[in-house]
Chain A
Amino acid sequence: MARIIVVTSGKGGVGKTTTSAAISMGLAKKGHKTVVIDFDVGLRNLDLIMGCERRVVYDIINVINGEASLNQALIRDKNCNLLSILPASQTRNKDALTQEGVGKILEELSKDFKYIVCDSPAGIEQGAHLAMYFADDAFIVTNPEVSSVRDSDRILGLLSSKSRRAERNEEPIKEFLLLSRYSPERVKSGEMLSLDDVQEILSLHLLGVIPESKSVLTASNSGTPVILDEKSDAGQAYSDIVARYLGENRPHRFIDDKTGFFRKLFGGK
């Protein structure tokens, strides 16, 4: 059985697509057959970040409408043959995304893949709802600012009530925090919330902190997930995240606050 991961946030532009691309590549590079699905119908850009935009023929809506088979729509990644991409449609009506249709696609993919990564659109509308509805794990991408944290809190509320697991009274979705675009300098100067501040509000299991990094833009311009840029700080942060998710024990980095939070949380006892 596949594990379904939703990458979600509520707020827009916080790094969901960047994260979806990076972790799906990371999981595949670790030898797990992985597929990443773009749920952002109308604004697709996962294929851009994955560098496969010129190879898109069919999309998720075609599959739901029965105009193409899943195999016709899946795009094999050029860097890693264990990774496939199911693109969203740019042109179609969002309402074409139905619960039944998505459920069928996920069921079929589950037979073939180990991990299914769902890149959620922003907001709490249908697309975001369907991206999270079937999830087993949720990666909550949050930026260190009040509105992003508040939206994450809202999404967490929805995860615990409006998901299939909640409706069936099953074990709840596992929730993980990915604090992205973190800049210790700006935390110090008071422009940004600290990890500590964010955790006080969300109290989630921290999977990793991704630093604010120019390498993210460079990577997306070249159509390669930033995790493949092994020298970059953001790339390393995502590698750590994938490793931790898979059960490895790696110390947290890029927080650069050597006196505060960490001593409190992990040391000092």
Chain B
Amino acid sequence: MTINSHSFPAVEFKSSSFSVPVLSLASNDLVLIEQLLNEKIKLAPEFFKNSPVVIDLHEVNKKQFVLDFKDAVMVVRKAGLFVIGIRSGNEFQQSQAIELGIPVNTAPTSEIKEIKIDSKNKQIKAPDDSEFIASDSTTVMITKPIRSGQRIYSHGDLIVLAQVGAGAEILAEGNIHVYGSLRGRALAGVQGNTEARIFCSDLQAELISIAGNYKISDDIQGAISNTPIQIYLQKNTLIIKPIVY
């Protein structure tokens, strides 16, 4: 086979953008990083398996911790991730990256999912009483009942496999799924995403809202409890509809 034996170009540069997770390191304690990273991966092993990742050294360098980039890469590779870039590295770290064949300063900063690793941001814990922000993963999954007075926030979707008690509040920038009874307040698309939806199997909510358009329980009354329903926005009106199969 020779070059040009085909009628189409064998090599072509195309511009295309990918969404790549960024691993932001805020510590130079590699043992800690390895441990936290493994904990994090355990939460979503499929998602992280062989995933490409860009290492961001902004935090650790800001704190003026000395971090050997080669060692960091070894730890991250050991965790099963492919390092495909370095961001905010210092001169030495960038030269180390080049030596390892890792491109420097890749990937546009916008559409990037951040995975923050530092000692405070350990893992997805039991929801805090006042506020719980999972700043590090798009989907938050809660498996225990959300009790009155608790507040859960997700930067992406929120999945609740238990009930949401009266007086509890759940908020998501994306969709909300509740597989137990929803008795508290549920607010989807809280940053303005009008495409966000709420799905639940038993609607008894005090308030539901999508992108700021809300209904309180008095308006929901009469809507069907104990049936799987979805709630979405149509011309600024909340529509509550049974999910039909």
Contacts and interface: CB of A to CB of B under 8 A. Distances in A.
Nearest to B132: A161
A130 B19 CA distance: 47
Interface stretch (A17-25, A42-50, A150-158): A150-158
Given A157-B149, A162-B129, A201-B183, 14 more contacts: A150-B166, A153-B147, A154-B149, A156-B147, A157-B129, A157-B147, A157-B165, A158-B149, A160-B126, A161-B129, A169-B125, A201-B166, A203-B162, A203-B163
Contacts of B241: none
Interface residues of A, number: 16
A153 to B, nearest CB: 4
B127 to A, nearest CB: 6
Interface of B: 122-123, 125-129, 144-150, 162-163, 165-168, 181, 183
B129 A201 contact: no
Which applies to chain B's interface (DSSP): helix, strand, loop or mixed? loop
A153 B167 contact: yes
A101 interface: no
Contact of A166 (B122, B126, B147): B126
A157 B127 CA distance: 9
A169 B127 CA distance: 11
A126 B165 CA distance: 24
B145 A156 contact: yes
Contacts of B126: 160-161, 166, 172
A200 interface: yes
Contacts of B162: 203
Nearest to B146: A157
A139 B129 CA distance: 20
Interface in A239-254: none
